[in-house]
Amino acid sequence: MKKVSEVMTPSVRLGRPDHTIREVAALMMEADIGSLPIEDHDRLVGMVTDRDIVLRAVALGLGAETLVREVMTEDIKYCFDDDSVEKVAGNMAELGLRRMPVLNRDKRLVGIVSLSNIAYSGNESASESMLKGVAKPH
């Protein structure tokens, strides 16, 4: 059974809670990504997505200089790099998450696993489970 470490994206860009949403949006644009883990003193303290910026800032009339800490999600769900793809896909589907930070057992961020990583993992059961969990019509 494949481990998450075999399918995750290992290169991770990071933001900080004191970044502005303009700075984070620029980082996301540069890296062509839709979410960014937020770290503070080598600790994962949040995640911010392009959707967070739109719904929690722009839609409420907050400016581009708004700090990320005001719009990020603080209750972070994560998995470990030695977890099975099947287990993580099931967990992500249950939680309705399209992306999840990957930590090693020392709780250091080592990657991100996403819907596309699972879809290309070669595990059809995990892919199907994940897709059904996160791609539900409203």
* 8: Cβ contacts below 8 Å, ≥ 6 apart: 81, 102, 110, 111, 112, 113, 117
DSSP 8-state class, residue 8: S
Number of structural domains found in the chain: 1
> Which pLDDT belongs to residue 76?
93
The domain that holds 109 is classified in CATH as 3.10.580.10
pLDDT at 80 over 90: yes
Residue with tokens 């984070």: 24
How sure is the predictor about 138, in pLDDT bands with cuts at 50, 70 and 90?
A: low
Percentage of the residues of the chain whose pLDDT score is greater than 70: 94
pTM here is: 0.86
Q: What is the model's pLDDT at position 128?
A: 74
pLDDT of 68 above 70: yes
Q: What is the pLDDT of residues 92-131, one digit of tens each?
A: 999 989 899 999 999 999 999 998 898 888 777 777 776 7
Domain of residue 18 covers 4-134
Residues 6+ apart with CB under 8 A from 128: none
Average pLDDT over every residue of 19-41: 95
Give per-residue pLDDT as tens, 45-61.
999 999 999 999 999 99
Alpha helices in 1-138, H assignment, sequence order: 21-31, 50-56, 85-95, 115-119, 124-134
